[in-house]
Amino acid sequence: LLRIALFGAGRIGAVHARSIAESRDAELAWICDPVEPSATALAGRHGGRASADPDEALADAAVDAVVIASATPTHIDLIRRSVDAGKKILCEKPISLDLAAIDRCWADIRDREPLLMLGFNRRFDASFREVHERVAAGEIGTLRTLRITSRDPHPPPAAYLATSGGMFRDMTIHDFDMAGYFLGDVVEVSAMATTNGDALFEDARDHAQAVVTMRAASGALCTIVNSRTCAFGYDQRLEAFGDLGSLEVTNQTATSVQASDGTRTGATDRYVDFFLERYAAAYRAELAEFLAAISEGRPPAVGFSDGRRAQALAEAAIESVASGRPVQPQPAP
Ligand SMILES: NC(=O)c1ccc[n+]([C@@H]2O[C@H](COP(=O)([O-])OP(=O)(O)OC[C@H]3O[C@@H](n4cnc5c(N)ncnc54)[C@H](O)[C@@H]3O)[C@@H](O)[C@H]2O)c1
């Protein structure tokens, strides 16, 4: 069994704690969070020793790997310390809010060839993965456009918004990774965004809606449509369009029952809500990939460079919103 230390006992930390506890290949050795009652409560549910200090877990020679699920501004420091301690790393997105800090971090750790995976859970969703495989197999011919829709049912709390780094770095980052997953390198990014005039987003200097258009090096085009609110639930769709056809992922519903009557046709249940439910299986598959990469001694399917690429697209989108012009993402050094 691989022994895992979990850093961060918040929303996503709870997801990882459960996945690790349920895995047959791993066990939770530590849960560390400066808010110790959070760590203790989560350890009470899923096992492991609770601590306020990640260094206790990093000093434990019996710990093979760490899952960094703490607040974003802590990721780089915890990555560096985990590499120093010789641990394998699964780190939540985004790596950092600062592209230059990401590049400095990689320059410092790359020679040690750390096994480092990024938590882009959507890559492990069965439907997105299936579309990716079928596009790669040539089913729709040359991929021409990728259309990604990602709308949250409701915004996170103001306190989360304050440290999240904003919509593009925190939320659209998943869509930027999807774009990279399907299209490889992107050469041009244009973005528009609005607050809807909502004080929550104006105070946080953040956005309520965004539309991003991108051109890939392959010539393929991509659009991303985001919203922080959506009256009909968590809206997660994708369409790959090519010369021979298209492949589309639609939203999931709790059951497949459809109702038709004098006022509606084909009405279904509400969409599965929210990311914890919609991607429950994907989070488990993500952990399984991390554990498999460790035991097989190979790089994981999603690495540091994928996190860096998504971040460069986020920075380009932010610059495009500010300048009103298309922006070329900054290439990796
Ligand atoms: N992949 C996904 O679907 C997904 C979903 C949600 C959040 N996230 C990411 O996960 C991270 C956490 O988000 P969240 O929603 O769980 O936030 P959260 O605020 O619910 O939890 C963050 C936790 O980290 C703890 N923490 C702060 N500093 C720490 C440190 N140095 N060591 C250990 N713990 C520390 C906090 O006390 C808090 O309990 C963010 O980077 C976020 O972007 C990813």
Residue 91 CA to ligand 1 center (angstroms) comes to 10
* DSSP β-bridge partners for residue 253: 271
- pLDDT-derived band at 163 (thresholds 50, 70, 90) equals confident
10 C-beta closer than 6 A to ligand 1: yes
What are 270-291's pLDDT values in tens digits? 999 899 999 999 999 999 999 9
What are 39-97's pLDDT values in tens digits? 999 999 999 999 999 999 999 999 999 999 999 999 999 999 999 999 999 999 999 99
- The edge-to-edge listing of strands for the beta sheet with 26-32 is 49-51, 26-32, 2-7, 65-68, 88-91, 116-118
167 C-beta closer than 6 A to ligand 1: no
Q: Is 147 in a helix, a strand, or coil?
A: strand
Residue 255 CA to ligand 1 center (angstroms) comes to 31
Atom of ligand 1 at shortest range from CA of 119 = 1
Q: Residue 105, Cβ neighbours under 10 Å: how many?
A: 21
Please indicate, yes or no, whether the overall pTM of this predicted structure exceeds 0.85.
yes
Query: What is the enclosing helix (H) or strand (E) of 105?
Result: helix 99-109
121 C-beta closer than 6 A to ligand 1: yes
Extended beta strands in the chain, E state: 2-7, 26-32, 49-51, 65-68, 88-91, 116-118, 143-151, 186-194, 209-216, 221-227, 235-242, 245-249
Atom of ligand 1 at shortest range from CA of 7 = 33
Between residues 254 and 169, the one the model is more confident about? 169
Q: Cα separation of 131 and 126, whole Å? A: 9
